[in-house]
Amino acid sequence: MFGLSEFAIILIVVIALLAAKKLPGLARSAGKSARILKAEARAVREADEGRGDDRGTGAAGSGAQGDGARPRVIRGETVARDTTGTGTGGVDDGTHRA
C-alpha cells in the first residue's frame, strides 16, 4: 500500500491545499519567532562575555548560583537507625523473632 514517505507527501499536499490562505502568515510568524530567539541568544552570550565570566561554561558554572547568588545552606538533624527490629526502620539484625 502506502509507505511512510508517500503518506507524508500526500499529507503535506493536502495541508497546503486546504490551508493555502494561512501559510504565508504562519511562515511569517515562524520567521519572526526565529529572529527573536536568535537575538535573545546573542544578548545572553554578550552579557556573559561582558561580565568577564571566568568560572567556565560547564554545568557547574551555570544555574542558580551562576548569577552571584549566595549558596543555599540546608540544615537538618541526624536520625539514628532503628536497630532493634521493632520499628519501621526496615533493619533486620536477627534479634526480633516473629
Q: Is position 60 within any domain?
A: no
CA angle 89, 93, 97 (to 5 degrees): 95
Give Cα 92 to chain centroid, integer Å: 41
Total domain count, the chain = 1
Q: Is position 44 within any domain?
A: yes
Range of the domain at 38: 27-53
Q: Is position 68 within any domain?
A: no
Q: What is the CA radius of gyration of the chain?
A: 30
Q: Is position 43 within any domain?
A: yes
Residue 87 scores a pLDDT above 50: yes
- Rounded to two decimals, what is the model's pTM? 0.37
Q: Is position 46 within any domain?
A: yes
pLDDT digits (tens, 9 = 90+) for 39-85: 999 999 998 887 765 555 444 444 544 556 788 888 888 888 877 76
Q: Is position 92 within any domain?
A: no
pLDDT digits (tens, 9 = 90+) for 1-44: 778 999 999 999 998 888 888 888 989 999 999 999 999 999 99
pLDDT for 71: 84
Q: Is position 34 within any domain?
A: yes
**Residue appearing with cell numbers 536520625:** 79
Question: 44-60 burial, b for 16+ CB within 10 Å, e for fewer?
Answer: eeeeeeeeeeeeeeeee
